[in-house]
Amino acid sequence: MAKRKRKQTRPAVGVEPSYPPVQAGLLSPMRRVPAEIPRPPYALHGDPGPSVSSLTRTPDELAAMRRTGQDAAEILLMAGTLVKPGITTDEIDRAVHEASIAKGGYPSPLNYRGFPKSVCTSVNEVICHGIPDSRPLADGDIINIDVTLWKDGVHGDTSATFLVGDVDDLSLTLVRETARSLDLGIAAVTPGGLVSDIGKAIEGHAVKHRLGVVREFIGHGVGTEFHSNLQIPHYHERRLATRLELGTSFTIEPMLTLGAPDAVVWDDDWTASTIDGTRTAQFEHTLVVSESGAERLTMTAAGECAHDLVAAALA
């Protein structure tokens, strides 16, 4: 998740900060994982160490990623059904934690570089890495829930932005077009194609709708490691000449904003929000490069995902 500087996309005119601003609530104790659940290497000490894995997957790893991705998709769908005014993000964390364990997996965020919870919940102006706490969701909020599951030695990483009750039109547009930008980014993936084609497709769509593209946080390689060395910017970086090989696994997770896309990180060293307080949305899939383009690994066995749940709410 490299930080980069570049000329910013001009946001929509007259966009006001989200109100009231999101404030941190109280944290519950870190949740426990039963001893019989296998753990990723960082689970005890929090340090994943340097990235050493290949960017491409073996057939066995890819089979495991399909299974784990399916489980992650089911967990995110479940979490999405919980979203309503009054529920706290801590309650969503508890449900995701318990569902992960029920599937025999480990919630990847838990103690990753010291992250204290099992899922990221990012509300309104929070771009990413929001820490679940005692704050209840309010009517009109939007919330990104970012689920990652570690199982069978691999990670499945997926997220969606959900609507809380009656949401204003600008926020509906933001959520709709962010989901569309992910689809366009995925469509740009081809074996041997440039990584920069992904960002070109996403940024072109954002500019069309006068939305900002967050640059501080980007997509990443994922597989046996939560974050590998591959970087996937969501903006067009012409100098990026990296090509995608068959079997390369990674996330695309565009974060678009109604206002300026610049980010500020809270004192908790995790929560990132827009510097001007305007709203932001994000959608994410784990993918692998196939002969036909990109295979979405974070889908249920029936070919569904939480993005469909959001699309139905937007219809």
Structural domains in the chain plus CATH codes: 59-314 (3.90.230.10)
Looking at residue 238, its pLDDT comes to 87
**Along the chain (315 residues), what's the average pLDDT of each consecutive run of 10 residues?**
36 78 97 98 97 97 98 98 98 98 98 98 98 98 98 98 98 98 98 97 98 98 97 94 96 98 97 98 98 97 97 95
Structural contact between residues 139 and 115, judged by C-beta atoms closer than 8 angstroms: no
* Helix/strand/coil for 264: strand
CA distances, 296 to each of 73, 183, 246, 285, 305 (Å): 11, 10, 14, 6, 10
- The rounded distance, in Å, linking the Cα atoms of 45 and 138 is 36
Is there a contact between 171 and 18 (Cβ–Cβ < 8 Å)? no
Radius of gyration of the chain from its Cα atoms, rounded to whole angstroms: 18
Q: Which of 68, 74, 40 has the alpha carbon at shortest distance from 160?
A: 74
Helices (H), the chain: 59-82, 89-102, 169-187, 196-208, 306-314
b/e burial code for range 90-121 (CB count within 10 A of at least 16 → b):
bbbbbbbbebbbebebbbbbbbbeebbbbbbb
pLDDT given for residue 304 in this prediction: 97
Write phi, then psi, for 90 (nearest 5 degrees).
Answer: -65, -35
CA distance 311 to 194: 29
* Beta bridge pairs of residue 295: 288
- For the record, the structure tokens of 58 come out as 């073996």
Six token digits for residue 61: 């790893």
d(CA 128, CA 12): 21
Q: What does the alpha-carbon distance between residue 198 and residue 134 come to, in Å, rounded to a whole number?
A: 37
Residues 6+ apart with CB under 8 A from 277: 17, 18, 21, 125, 259
The dihedral built from the CA positions of residue 206, 208, 211 and 215, taken in this order, carries a sign that is positive
CA atoms 3, 200, 311, 190: torsion sign: negative
**pLDDT attached to residue 205:** 98
The C-alpha angle 169, 173, 178, rounded to 5 degrees, equals 150
Closest CA to 119 of 170, 152, 163, 160: 160
Q: What pLDDT shows up at residue 9?
A: 42
Contact 98, 148 (CB under 8 A): no
Which is nearest to 217 in space by CA: 278, 129, 148?
129
**The token pair that represents 187 in the structure block:** 């469509």
Helix (H) or strand (E) holding 145: strand 142-151
User: What's the pLDDT score for residue 13?
Assistant: 53
The closest alpha carbon to 264, from 253, 241, 248, 280, belongs to 280
CA distance 161 to 181: 13
